[in-house]
Chains A and B, each alone.
Chain A
Amino acid sequence: MNTRPRRLLVGAAAAVLLAVLSACGGAAGGGSAPRAGDILRLGLSRQITGINPHKGGSPDSSGSIVGSIYESLTQIAPDLTVQPSLATSWTTVDPLTWRFTIRTDSKFSDGTPLTADDVVWNFQQLLDPDYKGTAGAPLRKYLTSVTKVDDSTLQFNLSQPALDLPGRLWSIYIVQPTFAHGHNLDNEALGSGPYKLDALDQENGATLSLNPYYAGPKPQFAQVRYTVLASEAQRVAALRAGEQDLILNLDPLDLAQFRNSDTYDTVLGVGNQPLTLAINERKTGTPLADPRVRQALNYATDKDTIIKSLLQGAVTPLPGQVLYDPFQQPNAAVSAYPYDPEKAKQLLAEAGHANGLTLTVLLSSGTYVSQDAATQAIAAQWAKVGVTLKIEQQPFPAWLQSQYGPDDQAADFYYIMWGGSFRGDVTGNFGPFRSDHIQSHLNAPEFDDLTTRAQNATTEAEKTDLVNQAVQNAHDQAHAIFLYPSPFTGVVSKGLQWTPKPNRYLYAQGVGRVSP
Chain B
Amino acid sequence: MSVPPIVPAPTDPPRTTVARRLRAPVGWRYIGGRLLTGLVAVWGAVTLVFFALYATGNPAILLVPPDAPPDEIARLTHLLGFDRPLPVQYAHFLASVLSGTFPDSIRYGGDPLPIALEKIPASLALGLAGLLIGALLGGLVGYLSATARSAWLGRVPLGLAVSIESVPTFFVGIVLVIVFAVQLGWFPVTSAGDASSLVLPALTLAFAFVPAIARVFRTALLDVLQAEHIRTARAKGLPRHTLAWRHVIANSLGTTLNVVGIQAGVLLGGAVVTESVFGWPGIGQLSVNAVQNRDYPLVIVCVLVISLGFVLINLVVDVLAAIVEPRLRS
Contacts and interface: CB of A to CB of B under 8 A. Distances in A.
Contacts of A55: 63
Given A1-B240, A5-B245, A237-B182, A202 B107 contact: yes
Interface stretch (A86-94, A183-191, A296-304, A501-509): A183-191
Given A24-B199, A186-B110, A241-B185, A201 B68 contact: no
Contacts of A137: 64-65, 67-69, 72, 75
Contacts of A135: 65
B294 interface: yes
Nearest to B249: A5
A244 B279 CA distance: 15
A129 interface: yes
B133 A16 contact: yes
A83 interface: no
A432 interface: yes
Interface residues of B, number: 66
A27 B196 contact: yes
Contact of B279 (A184, A204, A438): A204
B97 interface: no
Q: Which of B56, B198, B279 is most buried by chain A, counting CB atoms within 10 A of its CB? A: B279
B292 A397 contact: yes
Interface residues of A, number: 72
Interface in B145-184: 147, 149, 174, 177-178, 181-182
A12 interface: yes
Interface stretch (B27-35, B85-93, B281-289, B318-326): B281-289
Contacts of A49: 62, 107, 293
B140 interface: yes
Contacts of A238: 189-190
A401 interface: yes
B133 A397 contact: no
Nearest to A427: B67
B129 interface: yes
A182 interface: no
B76 A134 contact: yes
B244 A5 contact: yes
Given A20-B202, A204-B281, A237-B177, A229 B186 contact: no
Q: Which of A24, A138, A187 is most buried by chain B, counting CB atoms within 10 A of its CB? A: A24
A491 to B, nearest CB: 14
B243 interface: yes
Contact of B195 (A4, A5, A23, A401): A23
A4 B140 contact: no
Q: Which of A2, A21, A50 is most buried by chain B, counting CB atoms within 10 A of its CB? A: A2
B65 to A, nearest CB: 5
B69 A141 contact: yes
A28 B190 CA distance: 9
Interface in B228-273: 240-241, 243-245, 248-249
B4 interface: no
Contacts of B14: none
Contacts, number: 191
B108 interface: yes
B227 to A, nearest CB: 14
A354 interface: no
A9 B62 CA distance: 52
B95 interface: no
B10 interface: no
Contacts of B190: 204, 227, 229, 234, 238, 243-244
A417 to B, nearest CB: 10
B38 interface: no
B57 interface: yes
A241 B188 contact: yes
B139 interface: yes
Nearest to B56: A398
Given A4-B244, A28-B187, A202-B107, A134 B68 contact: yes
Contact of A184 (B64, B109, B140): B109
A203 B286 contact: yes
B146 to A, nearest CB: 10
Interface string B90-116: 000000000000000001111000000
29 contacts: A1-B240, A1-B244, A2-B244, A2-B248, A3-B240, A5-B244, A5-B245, A5-B249, A13-B137, A23-B195, A24-B187, A27-B181, A27-B186, A27-B187, A27-B188, A28-B189, A30-B185, A47-B292, A130-B79, A137-B72, A138-B65, A138-B68, A186-B107, A202-B107, A204-B191, A227-B279, A238-B190, A397-B61, A431-B67
The 7 A-B residue pairs with the shortest CB-CB distance in the complex, in nearest-first order: A186-B109, A137-B68, A23-B195, A24-B196, A2-B244, A5-B244, A28-B188
Given A4-B244, A432-B66, 6 more contacts: A10-B140, A49-B293, A137-B75, A243-B190, A397-B57, A401-B61
Interface of B: 56-59, 61-70, 72-73, 75-76, 79, 107-110, 129, 132-133, 136-137, 139-140, 143-144, 147, 149, 174, 177-178, 181-182, 185-191, 195-196, 198-199, 202, 240-241, 243-245, 248-249, 279, 281, 285-286, 289, 292-294
